Amino acid sequence: MAQTSVSEIIKTSPAFTQLTDLAADRLGGKVLFATDDFFAEKENLIKPGRGIFIADKYTDRGKWMDGWESRRKRVPGHDWAVVQLATTGKIKGIDIDTHFFLGNHPPHASIEAALLPENASVADWENGINWVEILPKSPLDPGSQNFYSIGHEGIFSHIRLHIYPDGGVARLKVYGEVFKQWDHVKQDTVLDLAAALHGGKALACNDMFFSAMGNLIMPGRGINMGDGWETKRNRTPNNRDWVILKLATPGYVHEFQVDTAHFKGNYPDRCSIEACLSDRDDTLTGEGVQWETVLPESKLQADTIHQFESAMKNRIFSHIRLNIFPDGGVSRLRVLGRKS
């Protein structure tokens, strides 16, 4: 069977799926509470991917399932779970994925959201919280990604997934835009301006056959080769692969960290970095952009964190273009600097 590239998968999904999954556990999301997770743990809801199925795997409670699954409800009511987003943000779309849940999926679901103070301690998730309905009770198909656009403009930190009346959901993805109060960040604070947690975005690349460009700006080091940006083998002489990142806020760039963790026989030979200042994202792949070289071509090594100084520390930039020669994989790119 032919391998499907990451690029092809994204094209079949709504546009909002290219935004940040604010609930992802790899970003820092947490499942804090569920009324019932008898068959399958609530924490599975925010794991990467769509979940897997192992036909003959059972536990002492029943069939093992890669998702959140409650028992069959024999009393009035329905089940629900609370997810703390990795960071506050504006929610643009939801994917309630019932992958492999066929005779045991919930027929309907709804979602509420709330904005709570940072480090808030909550004893009762049902009362005393100003929950706002952002998705009314809506039908779910079995074994499917159920996509819903969200029109609410609020900023939220937590969501509550209701399933009616019970059953299993493999994954819950909450796509949106990170909200960070930059006026609370001191001018001399140095931070990763490209980090997804701060609002950085991977906008475009020429190739991501093996793994997605968005991995470059995730927290921590990559856990394996799949947790990075990797292009296919290119046979064109003097090839250059590239990816464009939007910084969370325009700023002064001091240093770059190019991490090739886990890439050993397939790391790029060299890289360079360019930057620009632009108020538009949709023109950056065209010919009219004034890209400035902030890191000339530099040698890379396998499975290594490379630290490079920016050649233009006193210029303000909004976007970064990482070039790799001739192809290969990079785990993470850190863009350390100060807000402008």
Are 204 and 323 members of one domain? yes
Mean pLDDT of 303-326: 98
Are 286 and 222 members of one domain? yes
Are 215 and 108 members of one domain? no
8-state DSSP, 197: G
pLDDT value of position 1: 41
pLDDT value of position 14: 95
Overall pTM > 0.75: yes
Examine residue 53 and state whether it is found in any structural domain, yes or no. Answer: yes
Structural domains in the chain (count): 2
Q: Are 331 and 306 in contact (CB under 8 A)?
A: no
Q: Write out pLDDT tens, residues 232-282.
A: 999 999 999 999 999 999 999 999 999 999 999 999 999 999 999 999 999
Examine residue 211 and state whether it is found in any structural domain, yes or no. Answer: yes
Residue type, 271: C
Mean pLDDT of 123-127: 93
CA angle 44-201-161, nearest 5°?
30
Q: Indicate which CATH number applies to the domain containing 292.
A: 2.60.120.260
Are 135 and 248 members of one domain? no
Examine residue 156 and state whether it is found in any structural domain, yes or no. Answer: yes
pLDDT value of position 233: 97
pLDDT value of position 288: 87
Are 160 and 237 members of one domain? no
Residue type, 155: I
Distance CA 61, CA 70 (A): 11
Examine residue 212 and state whether it is found in any structural domain, yes or no. Answer: yes
Q: Write out pLDDT tens, residues 56-92.
A: 999 999 999 999 999 999 999 999 999 999 999 999 9
Kindly report which listed range (27-31, 42-46, 285-289) carries the lowest average pLDDT score: 285-289
Examine residue 1 and state whether it is found in any structural domain, yes or no. Answer: no
Q: Are 94 and 168 in contact (CB under 8 A)?
A: no
Are 98 and 143 members of one domain? yes
Q: Are 109 and 164 in contact (CB under 8 A)?
A: yes
Are 168 and 248 members of one domain? no
Q: How far is CA 99 from the centre of its chain?
A: 19
Are 202 and 236 members of one domain? yes
Distance CA 135, CA 140 (A): 12
Are 194 and 224 members of one domain? yes
Are 146 and 276 members of one domain? no
pLDDT for 182 beyond 70: yes
Are 172 and 251 members of one domain? no
Domain coverage including residue 267: 182-339
148, 178, 208 — which closes off a domain? 178
Mean pLDDT of 144-151: 97
Examine residue 83 and state whether it is found in any structural domain, yes or no. Answer: yes
Examine residue 281 and state whether it is found in any structural domain, yes or no. Answer: yes
